[in-house]
């Protein structure tokens, strides 16, 4: 029986914590040098398996260097596609602020707008059609920037 490396164990634990939305455990693992782009035993990164309904999970991973433009090897989708499909505009906005490209097509040739929950006229579709500029953008008025958000 093959032994898993420390890096593989950390990658599996970080992906599991991201999927559960466990910010405390994620911070522990990232502080312990877990790679935010490390792949779990299934070849997927924490951003690809994260709890999509928690923008704070995405923000933590992105602040620590996670790549928002890495396609899921199993589905061919990018994190922006997953957030758009699930209807989580706050998570989509966090990904976009951190550099997620909204013009990348998934393995089936679709843009995030093509799979947006609620269609092109729903909140996600409207965001994708008119995203705010990223340079110096701290998010919608009245919202704290990710670095200012409380843990």
Asked whether residue 2 carries a pLDDT value surpassing 80, the answer given is no
Q: For residue 1, is it within any domain?
A: no
Tallying the residues shown for the chain, one arrives at: 151
pLDDT tens digit sequence for 32-64: 989 999 999 999 999 999 999 999 999 999 999
pLDDT in tens, 60-91: 999 999 999 999 999 999 999 999 999 999 99
Q: What is the predicted pLDDT for the residue at 4?
A: 75
Q: For 86-139, how does the pLDDT look when each residue is reduced to its tens digit (9 = 90+)?
A: 999 999 999 999 999 999 999 999 999 999 999 999 999 999 999 999 865 544
27-60: buried (b, 16+ CB within 10 Å) or exposed (e) per residue? Answer: eebbeeebbbebbbeeebbbbbbbbbebbbbbbb
Residue whose token pair is 């919608």: 140
Q: How many domains does the chain have?
A: 1
Residue 28 lies in a domain: yes
- CATH value at residue 77: 1.25.40.20
């Amino acid at each position: 029986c093959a032994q898993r490396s420390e890096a593989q164990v950390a990658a599996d634990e970080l992906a599991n914590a991201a999927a559960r939305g466990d910010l405390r455990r994620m911070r522990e693992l990232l502080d312990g040098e877990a790679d935010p782009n490390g792949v779990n035993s299934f070849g997927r990164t924490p951003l690809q398996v994260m709890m999509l309904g928690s923008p704070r999970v995405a923000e933590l991973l992105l602040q620590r260097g996670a790549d928002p433009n890495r396609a899921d090897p199993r589905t061919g989708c990018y994190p922006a596609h997953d957030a758009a499909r699930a209807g989580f505009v706050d998570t989509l906005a966090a990904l976009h602020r951190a550099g997620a490209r909204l013009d990348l097509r998934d393995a089936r040739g679709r843009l995030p707008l093509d799979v947006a929950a609620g269609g092109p006229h729903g909140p996600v579709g409207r965001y994708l059609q008119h995203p705010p500029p990223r340079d110096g953008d701290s998010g919608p008025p009245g919202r704290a920037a990710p670095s200012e958000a409380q843990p």
